[in-house]
Structure 1
Amino acid sequence: MSENTQAPSDEQVQAEMRRWIEQAVIGLNLCPFAKSVYVKNQVRIVVSRARNIDALLDDLDRELELLKTTPAEQVDTTLLVHPTLFPDFFVFNDFLNVVDEVLEEHELEGVIQVAPFHPAFQFEDTEPDDADNLTNRAPYATLHLLREDSIDRAVESGDSAEDIVERNLKTVRALGLEGWKRLLSGQ
């Protein structure tokens, strides 16, 4: 981020994340179980202003504790979003190893799953502009904290994870990078 570029406000970040959820995640049906928790206001969007990774880990600790102690009917899932800390996807990707250690430290393996999203998300063995990467692209670096129980219930009542992945790839490939940009810009 250049010196003249001002970080977006929390309200701007939350609005962009809501547009992404509504237009891409729900609108394209990338996550068939997102709509039910979203319309019930069970999706928590938390904007972190941590100035370093240690402070972001403190935010992650708080959000994991909140999910652990709050009934799913109140908060089913949390998006921990940082608009400026990870401009480089590969640094963010390396950070995910630490996130796995945090889950282990909190004894939440098998309880909470973390799905990563980033504006420049890139799967291994893909090129940066491959449409396949769009399934994990979001406006900002995001750790999506999901309850394993909620995932299990959703999968039991619908398509298998493999079917969802295949359908998502088909959808984003048809949309393409330019279509994705238009979708998120509201054009």
Structure 2
Amino acid sequence: MIADPALALEPTRLWLERAVIGLNLCPFAKAVLAKGQVHFALTPAQDWGGVCEALVREAAELLARDPAERDTTLLVAPHAPADFVEFAGLVAQGERLLANNGWSGILQLASFHPAFQFAGVDPEDITNSTNRSPWPTLHLLREASIERAVRAFPDAADIYEANMATLRRLGPDGWAQVLAGTP
């Protein structure tokens, strides 16, 4: 829990720059950040209902804007469930909300969490870090942008394996250095 939720945005921005882009965990992220098309939003909501309301509001706002202006939104929810399994339930609820609003096939919801854990993987395994963010985060992506990115990157299916290899090579100490911004 964070006393001032606004303090969650800067660590999230640094995580995106240093880890996601710096390690090329998502080869599509660099261009949209460089073009100023990534919107960082914050919800101080402390319950599922409030986070879901913020998600719907941000989805509508994303769709109301030209993709050249805003292509994707990271909704940081520092008071979302700290328990990863509970957060996964919130993500499933978010996906249902997108579908109920007629946004299936238009928007996609990805998520990141400080305690992310792949199924069947030890919680301490460094590869979990590929999806670990400083704060619980819901990521709204335009399906059309994903399709364009995948066409431009024909080996998109290999990203997952490359990310795992990168994290294994770095190890916990290297990962900590990346997050801290030290060489």
Q: Of residues 84, 92, 106 in structure 2, which corresponds to 1:111? A: 106
Cα offset, 1:65, TM superposition: 0.5
Residues 129 and 177 of structure 1 are in contact (CA less than 8 Å); yes or no, is this contact kept in structure 2?
no
Q: SS where residue 87 of structure 1 aligns?
A: coil
Q: Of residues 13, 20, 36 in structure 2, which corresponds to 1:18? A: 13
Residues 47 and 82 of structure 1 are in contact (CA less than 8 Å); yes or no, is this contact kept in structure 2?
yes
* Residue equivalent to 1:80: 75
Alignment of 1:1-187 (within 5 A): 1=1, 7-10=3-6, 12-187=7-182
Q: SS where residue 116 of structure 1 aligns?
A: strand
Q: SS where residue 126 of structure 1 aligns?
A: coil
Letter in 1 for 2:83: D
Equivalent pairs, count: 182
Residues 7 and 83 of structure 1 are in contact (CA less than 8 Å); yes or no, is this contact kept in structure 2?
no
Separation (CA, whole Å) in 2 of partners of 1:100 and 1:84: 19
Residues 46 and 79 of structure 1 are in contact (CA less than 8 Å); yes or no, is this contact kept in structure 2?
yes
Residues 56 and 98 of structure 2 are in contact (CA less than 8 Å); yes or no, is this contact kept in structure 1?
no
Task: Give the stretch that moved more between structures: 46-55 or 136-145.
Answer: 46-55
Residues 103 and 112 of structure 1 are in contact (CA less than 8 Å); yes or no, is this contact kept in structure 2?
yes
Q: Which runs of 4+ in 1 moved over 3 A?
A: none
Residues 7 and 84 of structure 1 are in contact (CA less than 8 Å); yes or no, is this contact kept in structure 2?
no
Letter in 1 for 2:31: S
Cα offset, 1:9, TM superposition: 4.4
Q: SS where residue 111 of structure 2 aligns?
A: strand
Write out per-residue CA displacement over residues 55-77 of structure 1, whole angstroms, 9 at most, x where no aligned residue. 11110110111122211011000
TM-score normalised according to structure 2 size: 0.94
Identity across matched positions, percent: 43
Separation (CA, whole Å) in 2 of partners of 1:7 and 1:87: 15
Residues 47 and 79 of structure 2 are in contact (CA less than 8 Å); yes or no, is this contact kept in structure 1?
no
TM-score normalised according to structure 1 size: 0.92
Residues 45 and 79 of structure 2 are in contact (CA less than 8 Å); yes or no, is this contact kept in structure 1?
no
Residues 107 and 141 of structure 2 are in contact (CA less than 8 Å); yes or no, is this contact kept in structure 1?
yes
CA RMSD of aligned residues (A): 1.3
Q: SS where residue 167 of structure 1 aligns?
A: helix
Letter in 2 for 1:7: A
Query: What are structure 1's unaligned runs of at least 5 residues?
Result: none
